[in-house]
């Protein structure tokens, strides 16, 4: 599988898991993101997108 996992990164560069196996990442309004994984689990987060690393299968956000 090639799905990515979404994480929050803090100022100490530590990562905290938001959602594994993300299949859909959709921007909503004003730094609001809608995420859905392959199992149908959904999350809405208010964060700044920092990085999408396709080789490491990671989506990195910073909390606002």
Mean per-residue pLDDT of the chain:
96
How many domains, the chain? 1
What pLDDT was estimated at residue 1? Answer: 61
Range of the domain at 45: 4-63
Angle at 3 between CA 12 and CA 54, to 5 degrees: 60
pLDDT at position 32 over 70: yes
- Residue 44 · residue 33 · CB < 8 Å: yes
Question: Distance between CA atoms of 32 and 14, rounded to whole angstroms?
Answer: 22
2 pLDDT band (50/70/90 cuts)? confident
Task: Output the pTM of the full model.
Answer: 0.92
Q: Which residues pair with 7 in a beta bridge?
A: 17, 60
For the chain, the first-to-last Cα distance in angstroms comes to 30
């Amino acid at each position: 599988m090639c799905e990515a996992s979404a994480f929050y990164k803090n100022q100490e560069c530590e990562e905290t898991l938001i959602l594994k196996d993300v299949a859909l990442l959709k921007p909503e309004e004003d730094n609001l993101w809608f995420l859905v994984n392959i199992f149908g689990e959904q999350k809405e987060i208010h964060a700044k997108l920092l990085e999408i690393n396709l080789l490491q299968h990671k989506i990195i956000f910073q909390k606002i």
